[in-house]
Structure 1
Amino acid sequence: MNEIKNILNDRFEAIERRIVLVLEQLDDEQVNWRPNDSSNSISNLIVHISGNINDRIGKGMNKKPFTRDRDGEFEVQVITKNDLIEIIKTSLREVKVTLMAMNNEGLLETQKTGNREQTNLEVFIQSATHFSEHMGQILYIAKILKDEEYLTTTVPKKKRV
């Protein structure tokens, strides 16, 4: 199980690193930009990721009191990029600390997520997938906004010898 935890932790580290690198390229107006009324801004997506973490990890695993307003996560928001950086760092820190502190029995405990029971391990795996999907949306919005000035968030590939 430690190998699985390390793989998941690395995934959460990469998600955090890439989202922060994107946010650092944008200004406050850009992080709150919505392409149209039925689409989300980067702010919406980060607030949604944080809501998911607070619900599934904070409340579901760490037993912290939390009442989620999922619909509110997608309403028009105006949040500074610095606040968004802090939100994503704080939220993903809770995920990583919780994951790495959890023993095998804890990973196999279940919680109700939506209408089904899932083990905590399944919640971590599903969260990594869910956050990666939203990270892709965040990257795409940033590419639209920055166009030629967009700097990739991936690590450059090494040349093969």
Structure 2
Amino acid sequence: MNVIPSLIQLFERDLQKLKTEIVQYSQDEHLWLVAPQINNSAGNLVLHLIGNLNTYIGAEIGKTGYIRNRPLEFSEKGLSKNELLNRVTETLDIVKNSLITLPEEALEEEYPQLVFEQKTSTGYLLIHLTTHLTYHLGQINYHRRLLDKVSHESL
């Protein structure tokens, strides 16, 4: 079974869903709302996902030269929907272009960076990245449906 086409399909599906979530915010500013006991806005989660995928897939597998600034993923604010959408689209292209050239046997090889407490295979890391994307996608969906609605009603 070729796993890489399935991974590409999953990343494409969920990054397209991420774009749909961004578009559905009623106002650009609502992407940056936070509520008590919620640490991150949807906009910052989007930036975090972009940084994560560009680091572990783009830079390492695709050799794009991307250099991550993780603190900026959580401190940058106020980008427009269009800017976030463009960045997600660029990230999707990078993910697809990086993975399409990855040989299937590379999934069994040790991933070059230490990401967790111990080394893992490239396949394990890529599966982790799909679940990480889905986890934050769910948070963004809740954020949009709750905070965007509350903010819209109180205006």
State the TM-score, normalizing by the size of structure 2. Answer: 0.83
1:7 and 2:6 aligned: yes
Cα distance, 1:77 vs structure 2: 1.1
1:146 and 2:145 aligned: no
For 1:64 and 1:101, the matched residues in 2 are separated by 13
CA RMSD, Structure 1 to Structure 2 (Å):
2.1
State the TM-score, normalizing by the size of structure 1. Answer: 0.80
For 1:94 and 1:76, the matched residues in 2 are separated by 22
3-state secondary structure, aligned to 2:119: strand
Cα distance, 1:85 vs structure 2: 0.8
- CA 1:22–1:91: 2 relative to 1, 3 Å: same
Contact 2:62 2:99 in 1 (8 A): no
Contact 2:62 2:97 in 1 (8 A): no
Name the residue aligned to 1:113.
114
The more displaced of 135-144 and 106-115 is: 106-115
3-state secondary structure, aligned to 1:79: coil
Name the residue aligned to 2:15.
16
Cα distance, 1:37 vs structure 2: 7.7
For 1:44 and 1:100, the matched residues in 2 are separated by 28
- Unmatched 5+ stretches in structure 2: none
For 1:108 and 1:6, the matched residues in 2 are separated by 16
- CA 1:62–1:97: 2 relative to 1, 3 Å: closer
The more displaced of 105-114 and 25-34 is: 105-114
- CA 1:136–1:13: 2 relative to 1, 3 Å: same
Contact 1:31 1:43 in 2 (8 A): yes
- Unmatched 5+ stretches in structure 1: 150-161
3-state secondary structure, aligned to 1:113: coil
Tell me which protein shows more strand as a share of its residues: 1
Q: What code does the residue aligned with 1:130 have?
A: H
3-state secondary structure, aligned to 1:117: coil
Task: Provide Cα deviations, 1:39-83, integer angstroms capped at 9, x if missing partner.
Answer: 111110111011111211122212333332222211251110011
Aligned length: 147
For 1:138 and 1:125, the matched residues in 2 are separated by 20
Identity score, percent: 29
Summarize the alignment of residues 5-154 of structure 1 with structure 2, pairs less than 5 Å apart. Answer: 5-26=4-25, 27-36=27-36, 39-110=39-110, 111-114=112-115, 115-144=117-146, 145-146=148-149
Contact 1:57 1:95 in 2 (8 A): yes
Q: Where has structure 1 moved over 6 Å in runs of 4 or more?
A: none
Contact 1:56 1:113 in 2 (8 A): no
Contact 2:49 2:133 in 1 (8 A): yes
